[in-house]
Amino acid sequence: DWTPNAFVGETVEALKNKIGNDKVVLGLSGGVDSSVAAMLLHKAIGENLYCIFVNNGLLRKNEFTDVLEQYKGMGLNVKGVDASARFLDALAGKSDPEEKRKAIGRVFIEVFDDEAHEIENVTYLAQGTIYPDVIESVSATGGPSATIKSHHNVGGLPDFMKLKIVEPLKLLFKDEVRRVGASMGMDKQLLGRHPFPGPGLAIRILGDITPEKVRILQEVDAVFINGLKDAGLYDKVWQAGAILLPVNSVGVMGDERTYEKCVALRAVESTDGMTADWVNLPYEFLQKTSNDIINKVKGVNRVVYDISSKPPATIEWE
C-alpha cells in the first residue's frame, strides 16, 4: 500500500543515490508542487539544492515577500529574484492572451537561465511535475510547458534546459502531493493553497497590462481571498480569484457621475481543473465582499460574480 511516509523515505534515498554530491537547481513558484519537490530534495541533498523564486510582478499582493520568508523558514537555500520590471516591460502594449503568455514564458526563461548560470557546476534541473502534467503535456493542451517549448524550438535550448532532469513527484496526483508534504511537516496553509496560473494576474487583466491595473487587481484579489479565509470558505473552494475587465461603467459619487473599472469574481469547485462548477457562495459573503472592494479599492465601482461552469466557460477569462 502506498503511504506518504514510505514514499518520502524511498524517494529521499533514491534522490541521494542518484544525485550524490552534484548540484541541483529548482524554480519555486509558491505553489504546492514545486514546494513539496523542493522539500524532498532538501532532505536528500541539503545545501546542494539551489532554489530560485522569481517575482514576475504578477503575483498576488505581498506574495513574493511572504512566500520567500516562508521558504527561508523551511530551511531552503532560496534566492528571490525580483524581475517585475523586466516582465512588465515585455508585456507593455500586448493584449493578445497568447502573446502575453509567450512574453512571460520568454522572460521567465531568460531570468532563470541568468540565475542558473550563477551557480557553479550545476548538473540537474528539478521540477515539481506531477502525473496530470505528464498526461497533459502529451495531449498538448497548451499549458505553461507547451509555451516554453513552442518558444524554444526557435533558437535552441537555453543552457538550464540541457541539464539532467529530476522529477520526484512525477507519478503522484495532487492529493498525494499534499499528503507527502503534510508527512514532512509542511505548513497546512502552503499545502492548501489554491492553484494559481504561471502567467499570474496577467491573464486576469483582460487586454493590455499596466502597473496601475496590476495594483488594482492585487488589491481586489486580496480583499476577496482574505474574505474567503475569514469566512472559513477558502478551503471549500478549489480555486478563486478576481478578474479586471476592460470595461468602465458609470457610477455616482456625490452628485458626479464616474466611469470606473468593473471587476469579476470567480470561485470554482473542481477536482483537476478540466471541468469546474461555479461555487454557490453565500449572498451575505458576496454582499460584504462587494462593499469592501468598492469602498477600499480606488478606481473600482462595480463588482460582478461569474456564474459560468466549465465547459464551456474556462476557469480563467483569457
Q: What residue numbers does the annotated binding site for ATP cover?
A: 29-35
132 binds ligand XMP (CB under 6 A): no
31 binds ligand XMP (CB under 6 A): no
**Pairing relation of β-strands 78-82 and 49-55?**
parallel
Of 48, 239, 290, 301, which lies in the binding site for ligand XMP, with binding defined by CB under 6 A? 239
79 binds ligand XMP (CB under 6 A): no
Our CB check for ligand XMP shows the closer of 64 and 238 to be 238
CB of 142 to ligand XMP, least distance (A): 7
Our CB check for ligand XMP shows the closer of 8 and 201 to be 201
**Site mask, ligand XMP, residues 245-274, x = CB under 6 A?**
----------------------------x-
299 binds ligand XMP (CB under 6 A): no
102 binds ligand XMP (CB under 6 A): no
CB of 273 to ligand XMP, least distance (A): 4
CA torsion 43-44-50-55 (nearest 10°) is -50
Q: Which residues are annotated as a binding site?
A: 29-35
Q: Would you state the cell numbers that stand for residue 56, as one nine-digit string? A: 514576475
| Contact indicator for 302, 251 with CB cutoff of 8 Å | yes
Residues that bind ligand XMP (rule: CB under 6 A) add up to a total of 13
Of 61, 94, 100, 101, which lies in the binding site for ligand XMP, with binding defined by CB under 6 A? 101
Stretch of 8-16, 121-129, 179-187, 190-198 contacting ligand XMP, by CB under 6 A: 190-198
197 binds ligand XMP (CB under 6 A): yes
Where on the chain is the footprint of ligand XMP (CB under 6 A)? 101, 143-144, 195, 197-199, 239, 273, 310, 314-316
